[in-house]
Structure 1
């Protein structure tokens, strides 16, 4: 009995310590919600503060043609499995779905041709340049140039950081311009030259050293690759926001919306968090603070309390992007002519960067839309230029989106087919694979680490993409709670 009592006392002390440890999370986007949950679920006293009147950040909904459709993040990458584990934890009854159609096409090729992306590829880099799908896109001269990768002297050290330079050197300009660039620009808003190979395609450089050719490396890393690389929730991603919010309520976490944090200060071993709310200001005291806002808000908030954060490396500017969601009556799209995702070749005749055929991708969206009706998301805005529709009216933007959808899908779509539309403007944060992104995040966090009980998270440090943001928020919150509760090392 004494042994049991002795063993339980340290555990009870830890439980009591957690219960009396106050954490304030600034920002109620998905990063802030995940961090708040990671702290609340171990018993810490959490207060989450969001300046707007809604939670979820880039995850939201809009009503188009009577349908509740997702805005912003609509799915997640399966790499690492972190988002799936989060969903299973906070939404045990949710239905996780994979795309019913995950084919990708490239459109806007010479003479406005289009072709399916080859199956055996990594970020557009083909394993076999003689594949018919590859030759259709890059032509005979491009195929012969890409084949030189196999007959040139092998690379003994695969250590090229830039994806663009690697592809250009080994396979030539047509593979780069017609296969790789459409994917990096449409998906991430980044030119191939600015993509870090090892982060975008883990293991590719190692395989390049082992096989001696880029095509061989692609084939090597694809061994065992099966199934779609993304997942989603039947009914939409806003369920995840609601699920985390509900779990926070069950753990007695306080969630405050419509209140802006105006200042942070470290005094007498604790943080003072000043709020500005419609019903008057308030001051919170906290043992730890997690800042989960965008970059400009985070730096402005932290600069007085932790001046070195303002000197840490800044992330590259975000990409201005617009998405026009159109719902159309088009039975010709019932059998998706060009899969679920069509990327436009940069520099070609297309003004859009690409299109997602949502009702082809997700069975639940097709059911909601009904037979013959389709949901299309047309994206505009590349890494250098403002979106092609930036200066036009909403009505003209919808007309341009229909023209682009017609060309990208190869099916005539005009205003007579339109059932409803929604225009969304946002800034696309560079991906984690953007060159220098990881180093800049490390600089910011090293500076923030000078202040006890402080963590900084968000897409501007993690990179764009739900999986990256969730993984980063989970890891940083875990690191903070370890430091606060037991000084950085978990008790045995």
Structure 2
């Protein structure tokens, strides 16, 4: 019997495996087909959880720099990617750089030249009235859209905030909690007396929260570093794909595609990043009801395609909202991929998982791009996939955590569901939860705790 079986090779699952194997537990990890589970680029890391893991992989074990076996992986070291201004549709057409400082589009200086170029004179002056308007509700506005509309007006909400909020969350700003989008902004508003002053006071914290992280050598290098570290500690790295997991009261059983069968004291169920990724069938032994595995309650589709080079704005991606012939509102980001290639990434609306069962229609997406003045590049193909939608409400985040805790508690901490799809496609939150669960599990398996 082994101590722990890990059913996949996503970042959160491998990090949990490392926390378990480094204390001497026997761990078997199924690492096949994990490439699609890796992030595509730099990701948000507001609490520094991802950067801490990457620093750990980049550093030698125990500080021993003499032994090649204990050496770190410099290509896994975290590289910070600060947020940059994007270009938004201007008041007179074309593209204009968004005003900074800002919090998800809400500006600190409503009468700046950038605000005037996007909002026009009337819209910018309406936003400036925020400085003169008394604060009637101190830190009580829940929805980000309602807060911006009441302080800056509808034009600022539609042109500055809506494109960025819809890109991030897949819903209109009126359906996003301030406490989720910008924790602490309402408190800054109470102290400052106006939203523009609050944005200015909050801007450094916002930049820190929005700074993304990526391994120096890419996510493939970080995954390789995790696998090397696991092998160094003696983990079994399996090429066979697990097909079935049977959870029992005292022990669990795992079957692999090549016929291998394993008894294990605990299992880490990697739910991965993509909501349509297949995993092993999970059932129970000796119980009337099968376990209800946590899954993404809300999903959004994404699609990307190469496009002809738009009018250049040095160093700036372009972000806007488009409407498909079906009436759905999608976010579009056009950014440079290499020296000469440009790519459009479209993100669909967040919706219940059953409502996003189909992949988007490329013809509808192409029509939306054409309507926005963009042309798919000849010879390039659409790339479509589905991911969990980010949590826009506190309740959504709490419900997702409760679903993870429910399975964890049902099997007394010996069945740990992990993966970004359980946390609104948030690798930082998934990693934090997976490592906390793994620490609790290793304490029980080593006899430190009951």
Q: In which range does the TM-score fall when normalised by the shorter chain?
A: 0.7 to 0.9
The question of 1:186 aligning with 2:167 is answered yes
Cα distance, 1:22 vs structure 2: 0.8
Deviation of 1:121 (Å) = 0.6
Cα distance in 2 for partners of 1:432, 1:234 equals 28
Distance 1:138 1:122 in 2: 16
Alpha-carbon contact 1:177-1:345 (below 8 Å) kept: no
CA contact (8 A) 2:138 2:190 kept: yes
Deviation at 1:140, TM superposition (A): 2.7
Residues 1:374 and 2:341 are matched in the alignment: yes
- Alpha-carbon offset, residue 440 of structure 1: 0.7
Deviation of the 1:322 alpha carbon? 0.9
CA deviation vs aligned residue, 1:385-411 (integer Å, no higher than 9, x gap):
989993347xx97x769858x946xxx
Is the CA contact 1:158–1:208 (under 8 Å) kept in the aligned structure 2? yes
CA contact (8 A) 2:322 2:330 kept: no
Partner residue in 1 for 2:390:
431
Q: Tell me, in whole angstroms, the C-alpha distance in 1 between the residues paired with 2:192 and 2:41.
A: 37
Q: Is the 8 A contact 2:29 2:238 kept in 1?
A: yes
- Distance, in Å, in 2 between the alignment partners of 1:388 and 1:307 is 29
Measured in 2, the distance between the counterparts of 1:325 and 1:483 equals: 51
Q: How does 1:66-465 map to 2 (within 5 A)?
A: 72-91=39-58, 92-94=73-75, 96-99=78-81, 102-107=84-89, 112-155=93-136, 157-223=138-204, 229-267=211-249, 269-270=250-251, 272-277=252-257, 279-280=258-259, 282-293=260-271, 301=282, 310=292, 315-325=296-306, 337=313, 339-346=315-322, 353-359=331-337, 366=338, 369=339, 373-383=340-350, 390-392=360-362, 407=373, 415=377, 421-448=380-407, 449-452=409-412, 453-465=414-426
Separation in structure 2 between the aligned mates of residue 193 and residue 473 of structure 1, nearest angstrom: 32
CA gap 1:303/1:435 in 2 versus in 1, 3 angstroms: farther
Residues 301-334 of structure 1: CA deviation (Å, up to 9, x unaligned):
367769596398x7433012211246x7x6x98x
**Unmatched 5+ stretches in structure 1:** 1-19, 60-71, 360-365
Instruction: Find the aligned partners of 1:466 and 1:315 in 2 and give their Cα distance.
Output: 14
Q: Which residue of 2 aligns with 1:472?
A: 433
Per-residue CA deviations over 1:277-317 (Å, capped at 9, x if unaligned) read: 0x22x3322222222215787897367769596398x7433
Change in Cα spacing, 1:354 to 1:27, as seen in structure 2 (3 Å) is same
TM-score by length of 1: 0.73
Length-normalised TM-score, structure 2: 0.79
- What count of residue pairs does the alignment treat as equivalent? 423
d(CA) in 1 for partners of 2:431 and 2:124? 40
Partner residue, 2:6: 25
Aligned Cα root-mean-square deviation (Å): 3.8
How far apart are residue 25 of structure 1 and its match? Answer: 1.7
Query: Counterpart of 2:41 in 1: which secondary structure?
Result: coil
Contact 2:163/2:321 (8 A) holds in 1: yes
* Separation (CA, whole Å) in 1 of partners of 2:293 and 2:49: 32
Other structure's SS at 1:421 match: coil
SS of residue paired to 1:119: coil
1:31-42 paired onto structure 2 within 5 Å: 31-42=12-23
Tell me: CA distance 1:346–1:379, structure 2 relative to 1, closer, same or farther (3 Å): closer
Distance 1:460 1:97, change over 3 A: closer
CA offset at residue 45 of structure 1? 1.5
Matched residue, 1:17: none
Shift of 1:164: 2.1
